[in-house]
Amino acid sequence: MSEDSNENPPVDPPESTEIAPNDTDMNPDEPTEPPNKVGGTSPWTILMAGFIGALIGVIVGAFVTTSIIQQMLPSNLLRTSERPTDTSVEGLTAASGIVIDVAEKVSSSVVNISFMNEGDFSLGGQGSGVIFRSDGYILTNAHVVVDATEIVVTLPGGEDAVGVLLGLDVDNDIAVVKVDRTGLPAATFGTAADLRVGELAVVVGSPFGLDLSVTAGVISALSRNVSASDSNTPLKTLTNLIQTDASINPGNSGGALANHEGKVVGINTLIFTTNGSGQGIGFAITSDHALKLAEEIIETGTTTAPYIGVCISDVDPAESERLGASKGAHITQTLEGSPAEDSDLQADDVITLVDEVAIGGASELIAEVRKHSVDDVLEIDFAREGESLDTTVTLGDKPEDGPVCSNFFNDLLDDDEDGTPDALDNDGIELPPNHP
């Protein structure tokens, strides 16, 4: 509204009203003066001058106050009340431009992966992958291709290429597939170390086989440790995961999680589900960890896995008094031929510290061990029947065909007995024996 519409219309002083002379009251010999005059100025004139002066003062004061506030407040705060009113295609495109830019940049590096088991696609499935080297190297999840007897990679342009599985790491759910192509558009990778909770997250993949589908959300949490299982792989604990609410569904596994710059910061791996589809809680392996494992697979065909050689679970509150600890990683079994056998650790011990880092449960011990390398020496504090003890363990290289822990928890997860877990376990259900 303009200033003019806020002001009262100017009021002219009332004109002097001449009273008709009364012959009986007039004295023509006496001089007459205009009535109601003081010093030559009408009271109406003084009143209006004061009113206009006050109005001008209010306007000037408001202007000066607004200018001071604008100088004091950050410009981005001043813009928060500015709402886009353009609902045209151009306006909506401008509002979502950042997601569009990310999608266009990342989609050229994301592929669809189809695989057959025993020569039959009906026994196989689909997933996604990310081109990370232009000479045909593709990152995906181990659970996507672990049972594949034939792999077909659909490149962004729609061309199909035969994929060869170079190697995989089931514990970390990473695999590398190679296609005989050069000049492919490799993704640009970022680091998860720069991520902040609440920033933009864009997922690109092939949910339910729908190539190059894009969803967007935010980074919901960082450094999540999650234990899960499915029909293709045994129970595993994945550590240091990125959590997002960007929609992830079956088929997105192995696809890209990108930041606002269009850099791939994660490889999508898990969803929390009660019905087989996404519930707004998805997880991705950090690009830093995935690339490190991928390079190791390319060089050696496998990965090294530092391990202690113990089966562990969270501390059962009902057992805490007997065990002598309410938190920690409860050892249920030490594996034959493992580093644990060469240490002072034994079944029913509770590991509470590793190199002065507090261990609150089973997944935390796994995460801490994975931060190290084979042959590193760990200082371990543990509780045994109420007594605090310590020992050292030299990490070994976990053998592929060595002894493993029992896996009773898969049946507990699979309420429908269809071979597919109905939900991931994370914070609230006692974890099964695991294998760090």
CA distances from 421 to 233, 234, 270 (A): 11, 11, 12
Q: What is the pLDDT of residues 152-211, one digit of tens each?
A: 999 988 999 999 999 999 889 999 999 999 999 999 999 999 999 999 999 999 998 898
User: Which tokens go with 276?
Assistant: 């087989």
The residue among 223 and 90 whose pLDDT is bigger is 223
Q: Does 81 reside within a domain?
A: no
30 φ, ψ (degrees, to nearest 5): -90, 135
Residues 142, 258 within the same domain? yes
Q: Does 5 reside within a domain?
A: no
Q: Is 48 exposed, middle or buried (0-12, 13-18, 19+ CB in 10 A)?
A: middle
265 φ, ψ (degrees, to nearest 5): -110, -5
User: Which tokens go with 128?
Assistant: 């996604």
Q: What is the pLDDT of residues 283-333, one digit of tens each?
A: 999 999 999 999 999 999 988 889 999 999 999 999 888 888 999 999 998
| N residues, the chain | 436
Assign residue 166 the CATH number of its domain.
2.40.10.120
Best CA proximity match to 383, nearest among 340, 343, 339, 353: 353
Of 274, 303, 332, the position where a domain reaches its end is 303
Longest dimension (CA), the chain: 138
Contacts 24+ apart (CB under 8 A), 154-161: 154/111, 154/112, 154/113, 154/114, 154/211, 155/111, 155/179, 155/181, 155/184, 156/107, 156/108, 156/109, 156/110, 156/111, 156/185, 156/212
Contacts 24+ apart (CB under 8 A), 24-30: none
Which domain, by its residues, includes 246? 97-303
Assign residue 353 the CATH number of its domain.
2.30.42.10
Catalytic residues: 143, 173, 253
Confidence of residue 18 (pLDDT cuts 50, 70, 90): very low
| Cβ atoms < 10 Å from Cβ of 177 | 27
Q: Does 315 reside within a domain?
A: yes
Q: Does 257 reside within a domain?
A: yes
Residues 240, 116 within the same domain? yes
Residues 374, 282 within the same domain? no
Domain count, the chain: 3
Q: Does 272 reside within a domain?
A: yes
Residues 119, 223 within the same domain? yes
**Which residues, at least 6 apart from 20, have a Cβ–Cβ distance to it below 8 Å?**
none
- Listing DSSP states for 286-339 in one string gives EHHHHHHHHHHHHHHSS---EE--EEEEEPPGGGHHHHT-SSSEEEEEE-TTSG
Query: pTM for this one?
Result: 0.67
Residues 239, 296 within the same domain? yes
Residues 291, 361 within the same domain? no
Q: What is the dihedral of CA 97, 103, 108, 111, to 10 degrees?
A: -170
Q: Does 87 reside within a domain?
A: no
User: How far apart are the C-alpha atoms of 267 and 240, rounded to whole Å?
Assistant: 12
Residues 282, 330 within the same domain? no
Q: Does 7 reside within a domain?
A: no
**Which residues, at least 6 apart from 365, have a Cβ–Cβ distance to it below 8 Å?**
312, 329, 351, 354, 359, 436
Residues 190, 320 within the same domain? no
User: Which tokens go with 399?
Assistant: 């053998």
Most confidently modeled range among 107-111, 271-275, 343-347, 420-424 = 107-111
Residue 220 DSSP SS3: strand
Residues 299, 204 within the same domain? yes
Residues 333, 380 within the same domain? yes
CA distances from 233 to 62, 250, 388 (A): 69, 15, 37
Q: Does 49 reside within a domain?
A: yes
Q: Is 146 exposed, middle or buried (0-12, 13-18, 19+ CB in 10 A)?
A: middle
CA distances from 131 to 160, 200, 363, 369, 380 (A): 14, 22, 30, 29, 40
Range with the poorest average pLDDT among 114-118, 131-135, 181-185, 232-236:
232-236
- The H or E element spanning position 169 is strand 160-169
Q: What is the pLDDT of residues 56-91, one digit of tens each?
A: 665 655 554 445 444 544 444 333 334 445 555 555
**Rg value, the chain, Cα:** 37
Residues 30, 41 within the same domain? yes
Mean pLDDT, the chain, integer: 77
Residues 165, 216 within the same domain? yes
Question: How many helices and strands, by DSSP H and E, does the chain display?
Answer: 9, 20
